[in-house]
Amino acid sequence: ACSSKYVLSALHPMWQGPLVAPGGNRQSPIDIRVRKSVFDPHLKPLTPDYDPGTCSQIWNNGYSFLVEYDDTTDKSILKGGPLEDNFRLCQFHFHWGESNAWGSEHTVDRRLFPAELHMVHWNSNKYRRFEEAVMEENGLAVIGVFLKIGKRHEGLQKLVDALPAVRHKDSVVEFTRFDPACLLPANIDDYWTYAGSLTTPPLTEAVTWIIMKQHIEVSHDQLAVFRSLLFTSAEEEVQKSMVNNFRVQQPLRGRTVRSSFT
């Protein structure tokens, strides 16, 4: 799995950590100014092709909970869009607030969403493993999907039901046969894309971000279960609710955000 070796040792909440990586001029997250984005007619449709059989476990890493995929073969890949190579899915996770008024990392014309899904992929044409790709300029591709409060997301419920088993930091539970495609919006042809970074340590500037224009809906009760998770491990005296696990927004530094739609 991609990130289990990435033991993030920084103290909580990591967003009090380095606000901007040293020399960072392509840091994430950012506010997407819709009218400043540039339509790029050469952007292709995104073609994710995921095998639910590669889903392996859920892990609370003390920042979020990660649904991890076996990334030892090209069974679950992302191609197309702004990407020149094959990118292998290694995990997905979320960021959310303590209230429905905020929680997303990216914003659209300053609009905040209650949560944001990140599907993390690494360039398997150029690198042999995640740990290599995470240090390289075009090593990673992360799909971002905004979540809104609305009707219950039937596909998400299997994941929500498994969360109490990973309440504490460093807990892991087997989790199989989950199709991550069920979390994508109906329309994945309309997206923004820009060159950015990881939003938690190691904050490396390795990410091609692909932010979906269309959001998905989850119910208030489903998101409430995210907030029942803890930043802290079972041994710690003071338990801290896992909420507001988003990074502060970073300067655009002259970057262009491209859109796949007019």
Ligand X SMILES: NS(=O)(=O)c1ccc(S(=O)(=O)NCc2cccs2)s1
Out of 61, 123, 193, 260, the residue judged to bind ligand X by CB under 6 A: 61
198 binds ligand X (CB under 6 A): yes
Shortest reach from residue 161's CB to ligand X, in Å: 21
Q: What share of the chain is helix, strand, coil (3-state, %, to 5)?
A: 15, 30, 55
Shortest reach from residue 14's CB to ligand X, in Å: 8
Site for Zn ion in 68-127 (CB under 5 A): 118
Q: What does the alpha-carbon distance between residue 192 and residue 42 come to, in Å, rounded to a whole number?
A: 13
Shortest reach from residue 166's CB to Zn ion, in Å: 17
Nearer to ligand X, 208 or 222 (CB): 208
Shortest reach from residue 136's CB to ligand X, in Å: 13
User: What is the residue whose two structure tokens read 């009090």?
Assistant: 16
Residues 6+ apart with CB under 8 A from 59: 1, 4, 65, 66, 68, 166, 171, 172
Site for Zn ion in 2-31 (CB under 5 A): none
Shortest reach from residue 38's CB to ligand X, in Å: 23
3-state secondary structure of 197: coil
199 binds ligand X (CB under 6 A): yes
124 neighbors 77 (Cβ within 8 angstroms): yes
106 binds ligand X (CB under 6 A): no
Shortest reach from residue 162's CB to ligand X, in Å: 17
Q: What is the number of residues in the chain? A: 262
243 binds ligand X (CB under 6 A): no
Out of 93, 121, 153, 168, the residue judged to bind ligand X by CB under 6 A: 93
11-14 long-range contacts (CB < 8 A, ≥24 apart) are: 12/62, 12/231, 12/232, 12/240, 13/231, 13/244, 13/245, 14/63, 14/200, 14/201, 14/247
How many residues bind to ligand X according to rule CB under 6 A? 17
Nearer to Zn ion, 41 or 249 (CB): 249
Residue 80 burial by Cβ neighbours in a 10 Å radius (0-12, 13-18, 19+) = middle
Site for ligand X in 123-162 (CB under 6 A): 134, 142
Q: Which of 121, 113, 187 lies closest to 149 in space, CA to CA?
A: 113
Interaction site with ligand X (CB under 6 A): 2-3, 6, 8, 61, 63-64, 66, 91, 93, 118, 120, 134, 142, 198-200
Interaction site with Zn ion (CB under 5 A): 118
